[in-house]
Amino acid sequence: MPIRSSDDEAIGMGGTIAKYVKEKKKIIKVVFTPGEKSHPHFQEQFVKKTRYKETDKASKFMGIKETKNLGLKDSKLKSEINKPFVKKRVKELIMLYRPEKIYCPTKTDNHPTKDHQAVNQTVLEVVDSLRKHYPVYAYEVWNIFNEQLPHTYIDITGYMKTKLDYIKMFKSQWIYMFSLYIPAFIRAIYYGKKNNCKYAERFYKLR
């Protein structure tokens, strides 16, 4: 599950993660950047340490099996992904774990730094270079437009509270997370109606 920084997946697919963990699926989280630019008034090393600590605690709470941190520069992913070792490392992780499904942010995600699009691009380029077919799905974080792609819904009715609790665990990001918290809740209700259930998350099928 490649993500830009450790909190994106809480908004986009926190309920689905909780559902998969309940089904005994092993979740591997790949974090491209610790998000050190999120608090410009603090030293970057302090922010990194805080966010890594939050990530470990939140992942343990959710039952995520492993978290892999690539340690790339926040807000610089469009240039960082061109470094040979980045795609090599992503490829190594995919070949190591041979995932049943891969999830990443959508290419139309409206994140200000465009880092989410960079993660999307990297994942697809790596997957397309492999001989084995891996299903790839995209989740929504900052999205305001629908993508014209095949999509599917996952019923998270029994996991909505866990999703919301997961979001709240990223306390250092609460200013940003709060702006996404209510839209995520409203989206879950709307998608639930589309899926004939109370709450759901939507994913675009990319590969």
SS3 5: coil
pLDDT in tens, the chain (207 residues): 665 557 889 999 999 999 999 999 999 999 998 755 555 445 567 677 888 899 999 999 999 999 999 989 877 788 888 888 999 999 999 999 999 999 999 998 877 678 889 999 999 999 999 999 999 999 999 887 788 899 999 999 999 999 999 999 998 877 777 788 899 999 999 999 999 999 999 999 999
**Residue 207, token pair as written in the block:** 């590969």
CA-nearest of 144, 182, 138 to 164 is 182
pLDDT at 187: 96
Structure tokens at 63: 């039952």
The pLDDT score that the predictor gives to residue 44 is: 62
Q: Is 163 left (phi over 0), alpha (psi -120 to 50) or beta?
A: alpha
Residue 122 amino acid letter: T
pLDDT, position 176: 74
Per-residue pLDDT, 146: 82
* Distance (Å) of CA 1 to CA 47, 192, 200: 23, 23, 19
Cα–Cα dist 172/99, whole Å: 30
How much is the pLDDT for 5?
A: 54
pLDDT for res 37 = 52
pLDDT of residue 151: 96
pLDDT computed for residue 67 by the predictor: 94
**pLDDT, position 41:** 47
Question: What three-state secondary structure class fits 33?
Answer: coil
Whole-number pLDDT of residue 2: 60
Question: Three-class SS of residue 163?
Answer: helix
Can you list the domains of the chain with their CATH numbers?
2-205 (3.40.50.10320)
| Beta bridge pairs of residue 202 | 153
Instruction: Report the pLDDT value the prediction gives residue 138, as an integer from 0 to 100.
Output: 96
